[in-house]
Structure 1
């Protein structure tokens, strides 16, 4: 009789727990992205916080505040500047297109010298950019109004990005508390994990911090540093919309030979337009940056922390971004690491279940 009563009670207890978790998720839903980013950043930079904490023994608030400031200075501040400059480049492009539609833009002299495609590009430029209102006719609408809408959209995107910046600042605020109370939070999570998963908890939780650090360092920080360096290089060489093109080149660098292809095209354009030295500098320095960042530093950081093949990391990155957005850039590879741990766990369990052979 007691056993029959225990089962409904267990079911009610489980439903009660689920309701609490769902209710908390609903209440925290406006802040989940900030909390998630704060958790990722806190885990990635936890070794740095440990070093700072040793210099301020008995002063957890001071250590947490200094670590948060360092993270803001190294990561968030430059990221905000990069976003603002990218939006500015987009506005410059739409302004150029509106000018071309209003009064026409002459064909550049170097365009006809482009190998294999020079005549085709000149023809298309004359067809759409040299004669006023040609693009308007192509779009079957007033192109000025359409581009005005695009500029309005760019302004709306800027406002959205400013909202994301606010999210980052809120994440920094949460990050301070994660650093201050991180040890206590970790102890509680380990207790809950051990109670719920038993022996399975330790192998999973031991792989999470290195995987997160490898994903942040190898994907976010390397790509961000590469975008900043390439944007500065493009600006020095006189490339149009340098921050937008530099960031785009850093993003598509995950695809093999994509970034060198972009550098080759931009170098060719500079060379044909009479800026041969700038073109050579752009290609040579840009190739050096891409080779070091994408073919040396990134694989070492990622594979050293995740023990995943680089192709599996790419699948995790692209799949995570498609399914979860920008957070999936980090979560995707980490989930694949946990999948590898699961396979290792299953293979060991299968090995132990095998009967010993009798000779």
Structure 2
């Protein structure tokens, strides 16, 4: 009789727990992205917070605030600076297109010298950039045909940018509380995880922090540093829109041979334009930066914390971005790490259950 009574009570208890979790997820859904980013950043920079907290014993609020300021300075500040320079490059490109539309721009001397595509590029340049009012006419035709779509797209982009800025500031606000109360939150999560998963909890949770730090260090920080170095290199060599192209080169560096291909194209343009020395410096130094960042530093940082093959890291990055957006850049590799832990756990369990291991 007691067994029959326990089953309905257990089912009701489980449904009650599920309802609480679902209701909380619905209420927090507008803030989940910011909370997730804050949790990722807090985990990645937790050793830094521990050092700062050690210098300010008994002052959890001050230590958390100082750590949040340092993280904001290290991550947000440089990103804003990079975005400002990229906007300047975009404005410069816009001014060039406006000049081409007003009075036309002659075909540069180096364009016909490009192998294979030279004639096609010259014809396209003459059609759209050498003849005044061609760009405005093309845009006017496009706007007339799809004015509603353009207006909707512009409004969506503006709202998306405002949402991203709000998410960023909210994530920094949440970050302060995670640093202040992180230790107690971690203790409670370990208790709940141990109660629910038993011995399975420890191997999973022990792999999460190093995997997150490796993903942040190997993907975000290395890519940002690579973008800054390549932008400075491009600017020194006289490349047009150096920050925009440097950032593009760092972003496409995950694709095999994409960044070296872009460097080769830019070097060829400089060479055909009569800047042979700058072309050699750009190609050699750029290749060195890409090789060191993408084939040495990044794999060492990621594999050192995740123990994943670099190909699996790439799958995790691209799959995460496609399915979850920008946050998938970090979550994707971490999920693959947990998958590896699961396979290790399953293989060990199977090994212990075999007759040979029992005997």
Q: Given the two structures, how large is their TM-score scaled by the length of structure 1?
A: 0.92
Return the offset for 1:253. Answer: 0.3
| Partner residue in 1 for 2:351 | 351
Alignment of 1:318 with 2:325, yes or no, is no
| Partner residue in 1 for 2:239 | 239
- Cα distance in 2, alignment partners of residues 157 and 106 from structure 1: 34
| Partner residue in 1 for 2:45 | 45
| Partner residue in 1 for 2:169 | 169
Return the offset for 1:162. Answer: 4.6
| Partner residue in 1 for 2:22 | 22
Q: State how 1:121-270 maps to structure 2 within 5 Å.
A: 121-135=121-135, 141=141, 157=157, 160-270=160-270
Return the offset for 1:180. Answer: 1.1
Return the offset for 1:146. Answer: 8.6
| Partner residue in 2 for 1:12 | 12
How has the CA–CA distance of structure 1 residues 143 and 236 changed in structure 2, closer, same or farther, with 3 Å as cutoff? farther
- Cα distance in 2, alignment partners of residues 240 and 152 from structure 1: 31
Q: Secondary structure at the match of 2:282?
A: helix
2:260–2:290: 8 Å Cα contact kept in structure 1? yes
Return the offset for 1:104. Answer: 2.0
- Cα distance in 1, alignment partners of residues 357 and 277 from structure 2: 72
Q: Secondary structure at the match of 1:338?
A: helix
How has the CA–CA distance of structure 1 residues 277 and 250 changed in structure 2, closer, same or farther, with 3 Å as cutoff? same
- Report the aligned-residue RMSD: 2.6
| Partner residue in 1 for 2:70 | 70
Bigger drift between 150-159 and 35-44 goes to 150-159
Alignment of 1:82 with 2:82, yes or no, is yes
How has the CA–CA distance of structure 1 residues 192 and 166 changed in structure 2, closer, same or farther, with 3 Å as cutoff? same
**Deviations for 1:258-309, whole angstroms, at most 9, x for unmatched residues?**
1111011111112222333322222222112111111110000000000000
Q: Given the two structures, how large is their TM-score scaled by the length of structure 2?
A: 0.92
Bigger drift between 212-221 and 95-104 goes to 95-104
- Cα distance in 2, alignment partners of residues 130 and 347 from structure 1: 67
**Deviations for 1:193-220, whole angstroms, at most 9, x for unmatched residues?**
0000001000000000010010000011
| Partner residue in 1 for 2:105 | 105
Alignment of 1:277 with 2:245, yes or no, is no
Q: Secondary structure at the match of 1:141?
A: helix
Return the offset for 1:121. Answer: 1.9
| Partner residue in 1 for 2:34 | 34
- Cα distance in 2, alignment partners of residues 164 and 252 from structure 1: 22
Return the offset for 1:7. Answer: 1.5
Q: Secondary structure at the match of 1:289?
A: helix
**Deviations for 1:97-128, whole angstroms, at most 9, x for unmatched residues?**
34433432210111122233323322221122
Q: Secondary structure at the match of 1:248?
A: helix
Bigger drift between 4-13 and 113-122 goes to 113-122
Return the offset for 1:136. Answer: 5.8
For structure 2, the residue ranges without an aligned partner over 5 or more in a row are: none
1:136–1:144: 8 Å Cα contact kept in structure 2? no
Bigger drift between 62-71 and 88-97 goes to 88-97
2:72–2:172: 8 Å Cα contact kept in structure 1? yes
Q: Secondary structure at the match of 1:116?
A: coil
Q: Secondary structure at the match of 1:228?
A: helix
- Cα distance in 2, alignment partners of residues 145 and 91 from structure 1: 26
1:208–1:334: 8 Å Cα contact kept in structure 2? yes
